[in-house]
Structure 1
Amino acid sequence: MRYFLLSRLRRNPRFFFSPIASISTPQSPSPLHPPPLSSPSIRTLHGLPPNPQSVNPALPSPSRVVQSFSPEETQTDGGDDGDGPMNEFLSRFVWIIRPKLADAYPALPKETLEAMLLVVCQKVVALMELGASVDDPPVDLSGDLWKTIVEVSNSVCEAMRRDRMREELKKYLHCDEVKEMCRFAGDIGIQGPMLRELRFKWAREKLEDVEFYRSLDQMREQAQNQERQKVLSLSSGTDAGSVSLAEEKVGASKVAALPQRKGKIKYKIYGLDLSDPKWAEVAEKVEEAEKHFVPEELQPVEGKCKKVDERILSLNPDRDDPAPLLAEWKELLQPKRIDWLALLDRIKERNVDLYLKVAELLLSEESFEANIRDYSKLIDAHSKADHMEDAERILEVMTGRGIMPDILTFLILVHMYSKAGDLDRAKDAFESLTKVGFQPDLKVYNSMITAYVKAGLPKQGEMLVREMESRDIKPTKEIYMELLRAFTKHGQVDGAQRIMNTMQFAGIQPTLESFTLLVEAYGQSGDPDQARGHFDHMIRSGHKPDDRCTASMMAAYVKKNLLDKALDLLLTLEKDGFQPGIATYSVLVDWLGRLLLVDEVEGLLSKIAEKGETPFEIHVSLCDMYSRAHQLEKARKSLKILEARSKLLRADQLERIINGLLAGGLLEDAKRIYDCMQSQGLSPSEPIRVALLAAQSIPRHKSPTRRGGK
């Protein structure tokens, strides 16, 4: 564009000057005020150089056009031509200023506007290039026009700079370093708009680094040019050899002296600024923390100390005292805490009982530096080994030395006492936890519920389940099943039904065991209709009744003596392929034994023998049946089996045996079972005591032999 305009002016100088002579000043003022031809501000090349400040000193100097634009700063990838940036600047400049001239002079013809535009461009080029004063236009420009030219040139330079930055930014968006950081960010889960923002941020930082080093190069070139000019000025009139020598000295000095960088150096790793002073504080804290958890080096166990170490490991904890050998080992090695801990680890691998004994001795060792964790670990080890008395002794030693239990110690105590079934101490430890501000978790609640279940208080355990639900802690299926078993065992059918409903609300589908427990609970409460309803519901849910569930249903019918319904259920199940097992046959043996159907009972016994070993509890029914049927030999045979394992019998079972023996006239045997019951700490009921006294004082007549008797 520049060469086109200049060549056009050179070919036809009259093209510019003749139209301008006929221009008259517009009637209304405009943003651009080029003076008329007769104005003294229009001068030829033979006059003084342009000086817009003489008209209006507040207007910008034309030299600002040169200062605001540099071809090196607007270098683009458009080509290798050195005039490429200048041509791009002139094309943009002309594109912006042409409509401004047209708006300022709407009445001028197009040729005149083009001539004015040529003069403006030639003036701008003359100021931007050194040695261009030969081509300066013979017309001076007004101050308002120069102000507009400065604004347009600044906007063009800024636009070219932004375009150049945008083009260079595209390169760094795809460089290997930015790709690696983006890959790392994606691996740690940064995606979407945040990853895009970080990608542009890293590319801009990379571009800033390049711009910084590029500015260093420019500063170096400028400094070299200045030094070279100084050398030339100093060496004027000297020979060429001294000039070259001076230039070499200047170059050597510039190589040795690097430009000083302003500001603090920033070290960044994946966008994290590590030059912040806070990282120095972090490093000091890390160094202090490492002193606590970084283990020291172990002392080598060699020579005589090694032999003593082997003797310690071979000790028998039941008969040997490790204290003398520990004292000898200490004297030889002079151990620190880490050496004692290593010895405990070696002992624990060889013998756990010896470890517990040695660890307790080391609690009073000064060089061991025992803390609360050593006490709590030893208490936990004793509790897991079911050594409750030893654990309590260690706890007393700890408190006696002024070390009060902390949260971890209370947690161990809750689990230990719950496992041992000591409800009162478990409650104390649980309350201590809540007092220190600890919120019980699932494991603590599970231990406390187990303690209540073992104490026969499932309702208090259910209250803890409600507390868990209020705190958004979801109880496990095992907790629900444990409470369901406890309610069923104690015959609390309402509690069992509540737990069953709670499980369903919690999304836990009923299982065969849960249905069986519910049937058993209703059977014990004497409600066979409800038991049968849940039994049928279980079948409709897709569960096939097993031997235990069927036996529970039979026991429910036993409570109401509904033999016809029981047999009808058995026939229905057998049609569906069910085969009664030992549990079902045992219930039928007990039922028929109460009815003194000896032959039927013995037929069922043969079927039980085919299935497996006869249950021990079934002899309670047999002893009672044979005694009442006056088959005394068979009664004494079953009684002998029961007496051998009498500690396994409940109080109600022992009372049934006593009643059966009294009904069969076996007074001495009944009295012996009565004494055995008292020796076991079981209190006989008043009817049993009265019946035994009556049998001792009133002679009984022999009853006629029942069906099946011998």
Structure 2
Amino acid sequence: MASLSTTTTTPPPFRPPTTTRRPTSFRIHVSTQTESDPSHSSSSSSPSSSIDERTRRITKELEKQKAKEYKERKEMVNRKIASHKAVSVILRREATKAIIDKRNRKKGSINSKKLLPRTVLEALHERITALRWESALKVFELMREQLWYRPNTGMYVKLIVMLGKCKQPEKANELFQAMVDEGCVLDCEPYTALLSAYSRSGRLDKAFSLLEEMKTLPGCEPDVQTYSILIKSCLQVFAFDKVNGLLSDMTDHGIKPNTVTYNTLIDAYGKAKRFSEMESTLVEMLADRNCQPDVWTMNSTLRAFGYIGQIETMERCYDKFQSAGIQPNVQTFNILLDSYGKAEDYMKMSAVMEYMQKYHYSWTIVTYNIVIDAFGKAGDLKQMEYLFRLMRSERIKPSCVTLCSLVRTYAHAGKPEKIGGILRFVENSDILLDTVFFNCLVDAYGRLGCLAEMKGVLEMMEQRGCKPDLITYRTMIKAYSFKGMNSHVKELTELLATVQRPPIKRLKPDF
């Protein structure tokens, strides 16, 4: 197996992980059957009667086991039925209270104020996990009307965190005020959740004011998690001066950074190519005995050097982290694959792929997207198509990233019929297409000179509910200009003024 080291012509193999994995097929079977003891059997008993006795015992044990399994299955089914029934009531309540009232009067078995706690909590948890914030708030309002309801700080915190992820800081603030009105105990945790909601939405001014407010309230003083969340939000908008101020503030209040804080700093400095700060942060982290690097530290460091093409430095860091006992995960190998692919080192890339298969690291959609894109850019259509078929055989649904890689490769190879095959595949799937994919399709048909097909992409976008953006029209204008079709160029140029410019977003790797 080839290695990642660059010191020899033929790289040595990867060092295997120190932990061993038990094969999934390994099982321990303990027999419930016991042999009859001859000393306890009657002298007149025949061998056939002994066998019959054992058979009866075995049959009896099997019947007991089947009865137990049947009972467990029945209980599970009953729980599911109760849960679906409660969710049905909740959904009707969301639509209109009159329907529930009518149902209650008819059947009398369901009371909107006497729902089982478990079923309501399951429905609420399901919506929080799926980030369905509007439905979650309606279920929560229904829960507050139940006879068994008692205010709970933890439940409010979960909802506020969900609203923060959904970029709904004002709703989160309303929920925070409701928690205060219900007399819930306030400490650092709910304040941190609300601060996180504002910082996730870019409301740093409000987040910093909450930080100052926390400092003045007994029992609500900010902790390392509060500072880490605010630091991460500042780093995402490149507000490095504010980050330095927060780190100094932590020192003044005797709060030491933890592993999450250091990992956030290392990752952000690496993405911003501020390698001196990244290195000093890593050295500071290593000097702290209570804060040791982990696999996320390794991944952030490898990503930083791999992204700028410093492959040898990345490999040395990989060896050092492994020597320190930090074992890689799937994200680590995705980073290595992406770095080797960009460096066009396909031998080492293949070595990582073989290593993952040998030690049973399951490939994710990110893994497939990386290798499909790499072999596509290398012009190896046979390997790219094989990996795409393998991906589908593993029941991993392709994404728009996968489709864009295929379309770009076929365009460069001059194979418009292959692009048609991708579109037929899309028609028979439930893949959610976005504007980026259609822009890729427009560019591919423009490169191939298939202007009729390029224009037809606009109709496909309309059918899929996607609106053309600046990139769509500019790509089409470029293709029409190359062919001297000035009337089409003029028409599209007029449309450019009506297109809203997208907000500038920072690209983040998906591994």
Structure 2-normalised TM-score?
A: 0.48
Higher Rg: 1
TM-score normalised by the chain length of structure 1: 0.36
Q: Determine which structure has greater relative contact order: mean sequence separation of CA pairs < 8 Å that are 6+ residues apart, divided by chain length.
A: 2
